[in-house]
Amino acid sequence: FVFQGTLAEKLRAGGAGIPAFFTSTAFGTVIQQGGFPIKYKADGKGGMEVEIASKPRETRKFGDRTYVMEEAIRGDFALIKAWKGDTNGNLMFRATARNFNPDCAKAAKIAIAEVEELVQPGELKPDEIHLPGIYVHRIVQGGKYDKRIEKLTLSTGSDEGSRGKGGGDGSRDRIVRRAAKEFRDGMYVNLGIGVPTLASNYIPAGMRVELQSENGLLGMGPYPKAGEQDADLINAGKETVSYLKGSSIFSSSESFAMIRGSHVDLTILGALEVSAQGDLANWIIPGKMVKGMGGAMDLVSSGNKVVVTMEHTAKNGAHKILPQCNLPLTGTRVVDLIITELAVFEVHPDKGLILTEFAEGVTVEEIKAKTGAPFIVSDSLIPMQQ
């Protein structure tokens, strides 16, 4: 298993001739410790005996943090897609379709680029070129393009619907409104898919908050109006989005460099489980299919403020806030704040969970009954901010 940000850096390192690098991402998780099933034996009986398990990664301490060593990736071939190219191999990408394409080309012995428009040298201005031709070995102009949108997501026209359906579900809306209270003027923020994304509907007027998307967009705007959607302009969840004035586009490796380098101030994301020490589990349920690991491991290991928004308990009533997580971890001691429909907890590095806010109509006794880990009640306990 390779998580998204480290995959981008493994490609970038491979293309730059760097054999390996160290990152804090995944330290303390099964990805670093090894032993996670990669392949099960095909015995025809539906058994779960592991045939191939992941290997432990080397670690090393720099300063007061421990880092995981990751080896670079080099490929024999890379098949990439660009918007425009010239016969010298220089390429331009359009909007967020840049993502992993430049990094894949750089890491390959032979990069083959398909372009929508092929022009002669000189027709692309030097400062418009995103990938120099030195990395491209073959170029071909494709035929007619029918760009399909996987997740067409449109604005409803109202402020609360600009990034999805606001309201309707009282519990969800309560979480969303409280999460928005964590925004501060001038912040760079990454919002997870679903409830975290809805918090952007409640950014106060006059407050400047720039949203960063892992696939290479800073200054992400609301969902587009019908007819204004662009198949090449999407967020990390593949939803159609728009630009804001002052937005910028970049590659996936650049995006995760921002994250890994602690340039993003705040991350709000969902969770399957959170421990009393701030451990987070949100990327996989063993035995169930996972489409991809996404960028959560990189985001929570970067040292920025991490806020979890989630329902207080599972649908069957099982606890999601626990003494220790039962599911594979995304990060250890990374969560700073937990917001549910019932309460808000601060996660203190020494004291553990501290109940700081409670929802209207909810008692401390009810919160205790629905929380699987012990917590301290703050002396300054207040009703949940909205």
Active site residue 365: no
Of the candidates 160, 174, 170, 166, the residue with the CA atom closest to the CA atom of residue 344: 174
Find where tokens 């649908």 sit: 315
> In the structure encoding, which two tokens stand for residue 38, read together?
């990669």
Is 372 in a helix, a strand, or coil?
Answer: coil
DSSP track, 150-171: SB-----SSGGGTTS--SSSHH
> In the structure encoding, which two tokens stand for residue 386, read together?
């909205």
> In the structure encoding, which two tokens stand for residue 99, read together?
């993502």
Rounded to whole angstroms, how far apart are CA atoms 105 and 108?
A: 5
Q: Where are the beta strands (DSSP E) in 331-375?
A: 337-339, 343-348, 352-358
Q: How many residues does the chain have?
A: 386
Strands 37-40 and 75-86: unpaired
Find where tokens 């990069």 sit: 111
Rounded to whole angstroms, how far apart are CA atoms 305 and 334?
A: 8
Residue from 70, 214, 239, 341 carrying the catalytic annotation: 214
Is 260 in a helix, a strand, or coil?
Answer: helix
For residue 361, how many other CB atoms are within 10 A of its CB? 8
Instruction: Return the C-alpha torsion angle 305, 306, 309, 314, nearest 10.
Output: -150
Is 48 in a helix, a strand, or coil?
Answer: coil
DSSP-assigned beta bridge partners for residue 21: 70
381 close to 344: Cβ distance less than 8 angstroms? no
Is 209 in a helix, a strand, or coil?
Answer: strand
Produce one character per residue of 118-150: b if its CB has 16 or more CB atoms within 10 Å, e if not: beeeeebeeeebbbebebbbebeeeeeeeeeee
Relative orientation angle of helices 252-260 and 4-15, to the nearest 10 degrees: 110
Q: Which residues are catalytic?
A: 214
